[in-house]
Amino acid sequence: MESQCHWAVELALIEVTDLSFRYPLTEKWALNSVSISVEKGEFVAIVGPTGAGKTTLCMCLNGLVPNNIRGDFRGTAKIAGLETNKSPVADLAHHVGIVFQSPESQLFGLTVEEEIAFGPENYNFQVQEISERIDWALDIVRMKEFSSKSPYDLSGGQKQRVAIAGALALRPEVLVMDEPLTELDPIGKSEVSATIRRLRDEHEITVVLVEHETEEVANYADRVLLMEQGRVTYQAPPREFFQRTKYLQSRGVDSPQVTQVASCLCDDGMWTGALPIRLEEAVETLKRLSEHGPVIHSVDSSSRFRDGVESVISFDDVTFLYPDGTEALRHINFEVKTGEFVAIIGQNGSGKTTLAKQLNGLLRPASGAVYINGIDTRKATVAELARTVGYLFQNPDHQIFSKTVEEEVTFGPKNLGMSTGEIESSVNEALLTAGIQALKVQHPLFLNKGQRQLVALASILSMKPQVLVLDEPTTGQDANGRRQIMSLVQRLHAAGKTIIVITHDMRLVAEYAPRAVVMWNGNIIGDGATRTVFCEPELLARTFIQPPQITRLSYQVPKLGVALSVEEMCAKVKQLHKT
């Protein structure tokens, strides 16, 4: 008896052996003989490009695959000794808690309290026990004061914390989180990230976390797995893992920016020893490397205040009210010149989207006026403004409805009443620009998310707008997908289009947008060259926006000036070193 118990302790909590899974009607194996084992108390992070099988693996861990989502399942996945394909999901649920990406779809309680009670209620616990668990779980995620609120009224970060508490309330041994930060704004990200850190530091719970943000992964994982094409191809503790920066990059995974800088300097023999994976580890060496030589003053190559260029967009003291009377925009004055590339940043609810919707008349000012190419939006229809302003919504699924890609892209030009010849040429041009001519006759719903995004973009481009408004174009994309869409946007900009991007992705802002507009509480509180805006840490801190890691690193090495990208930082250090 005793030896048996001893043996049970030795056994890993998660034991996946030779696991393969294929969804019905597909050729490709979503998982291809995956073997991993996770010890009790371990914190394992999984990174990898989109479509690598990360989500499928998560769903194997709590038995959703193959119990709920059926398909060709081979091999075994054992959690706490239970074989997941032989135990109902309900039996596994109190061993494995799972938190999904979208906070909206995993909360079904009418109040926070009921939401968390939901799991324990399903197991028919005593009311007293349930109420203790609610208190305990809400305390971990620091949401006690919200217990009687409706989940619908919470912010994204708060919703995600409630989802974590809901999973914890069953006191599972393992908590699986599938990209819990992806859909959140910067405040939400930092809240949830702090919660995850607390779970790691204060509670003995085994965590499996899928995450794109490698900076976060470097902060809390004990071990990192790389998944690609259904296989685990590389695993190591984070320090060792990220040493292979170039290899990871070739697999579509970006290492933390500090690691990338060090790796770049390593090539020139300037960095010796192990590469840093956290910001504070890089500061000393960089200070030493930039000891000699003069202080570098960054000059912005792109001056946005081009005189003589006309404004394509101009806001004149615009105020906008929601039906319930809250002011979403307060006395906004704002101009965009032809050919500019502007990023609008700020938390959810700061007024970014409300401002963007004024650009094509989806919303119209309550007082003041918005002029698009001199046309007052109050005197034009959305369809008329669509000729000038193309608005790409975040989720391509919100607009795709046709049977073929070509038909989808034709919808806009047809609505504009273009002639047949015009339609054909503009559709072909749009497909070509987006690089999806090959998909012309495909059904858009059978394409992957990245391709659908391109279809949605092409369907806007085919209307030949002068201004392009992009709402969160990179959310949920991996490093390659992000680069693909942003280099396309950059080409469009180079071809003369005016670009306005609404985004939470500060690396995107730093690397691509020459001008940044910071919104807070319905006001524009910062507007200028991105470099200048990122030079004001106080302004950003006030709006809870965190600049990219590389920029934060440059704050600590003042001699280098503010750096916006890895390449820039590398170039500066090299320049200093030469002198």
429-458 residues near other proteins, rule: CB under 8 A: 445
CB-based contact 531:300 (threshold 8 Å): yes
Nearer to other proteins, 156 or 252 (CB): 156
| 480 lies in the binding site for other proteins (CB under 8 A) | no
| 186 lies in the binding site for other proteins (CB under 8 A) | no
Stretch that binds other proteins, among 246-254, 283-291, 394-402, 435-443 (CB under 8 A): 394-402
- Cα 284–chain centre separation: 30
Hey, how many other C-beta atoms are within 10 angstroms of the C-beta on 152?
Answer: 9
| Cα distance between residue 164 and residue 173, in whole Å | 14
| 166 lies in the binding site for other proteins (CB under 8 A) | yes
Taking the complex as a whole, how short is the minimal distance between the CB of residue 106 and other proteins, in angstroms? Answer: 4
| 295 lies in the binding site for other proteins (CB under 8 A) | no
Q: Which residue has the tokens 């939901």?
A: 118
By CB under 8 A, the count of residues binding other proteins is: 75
Stretch that binds other proteins, among 58-66, 228-236, 242-250, 258-266 (CB under 8 A): 58-66
- Applying CB under 8 A, among 236, 296, 416, 525 the residue interacting with other proteins is 416
| 322 lies in the binding site for other proteins (CB under 8 A) | yes
| 18 lies in the binding site for other proteins (CB under 8 A) | no
Taking the complex as a whole, how short is the minimal distance between the CB of residue 155 and other proteins, in angstroms? Answer: 10
Under DSSP, is residue 64 helix (H, G, I), strand (E, B) or coil?
Answer: helix
Instruction: For residue 319, give the H/E element and its range.
Output: strand 311-321
| 459 lies in the binding site for other proteins (CB under 8 A) | yes
| 323 lies in the binding site for other proteins (CB under 8 A) | yes
Which residues inside 356-375 make contact with other proteins, applying CB under 8 A? 357, 360, 362
Where are the extended beta strands (E) located within 230-307?
231-236
Nearer to other proteins, 168 or 566 (CB): 168
| 152 lies in the binding site for other proteins (CB under 8 A) | yes
State how beta strands 82-83 and 96-99 pair.
unpaired
| 113 lies in the binding site for other proteins (CB under 8 A) | yes
Instruction: For residue 14, give the H/E element and its range.
Output: strand 14-22
Taking the complex as a whole, how short is the minimal distance between the CB of residue 497 and other proteins, in angstroms? Answer: 16
* Long-range contact pairs involving 119-125 (C-beta distance under 8 Å, separation at least 24): 119/93, 119/94, 119/166, 119/167, 119/169, 119/170, 120/169, 120/170, 122/90, 122/93, 123/94, 123/170
Nearer to other proteins, 98 or 550 (CB): 98
| 159 lies in the binding site for other proteins (CB under 8 A) | no
Nearer to other proteins, 303 or 326 (CB): 326
Write the burial class of residue 88 (CB in 10 Å: 0-12 exposed, 13-18 middle, 19+ buried).
Answer: exposed
Phi-psi region of 296 (alpha: psi -120 to 50; beta: other; left: phi over 0): beta
| 68 lies in the binding site for other proteins (CB under 8 A) | yes
Token pair for 565: 């990208």
- Applying CB under 8 A, among 50, 150, 182, 190 the residue interacting with other proteins is 150
| Cα distance between residue 196 and residue 216, in whole Å | 10
- Helix-, strand-, coil-residue percentages of the chain, each rounded to 5: 45, 20, 35
Give the phi and the psi of residue 133 in degrees, each rounded to 5.
-65, -40
| 571 lies in the binding site for other proteins (CB under 8 A) | no
Give the phi and the psi of residue 220 in degrees, each rounded to 5.
-130, -5
Nearer to other proteins, 117 or 277 (CB): 117
Which residues inside 487-506 make contact with other proteins, applying CB under 8 A? none
Taking the complex as a whole, how short is the minimal distance between the CB of residue 213 and other proteins, in angstroms? Answer: 22
| 73 lies in the binding site for other proteins (CB under 8 A) | no
Stretch that binds other proteins, among 129-137, 334-342, 492-500, 569-577 (CB under 8 A): 129-137
Token pair for 353: 């989207």
Nearer to other proteins, 270 or 382 (CB): 382
Binding mask 204-223 for other proteins (x = CB under 8 A): --------------------
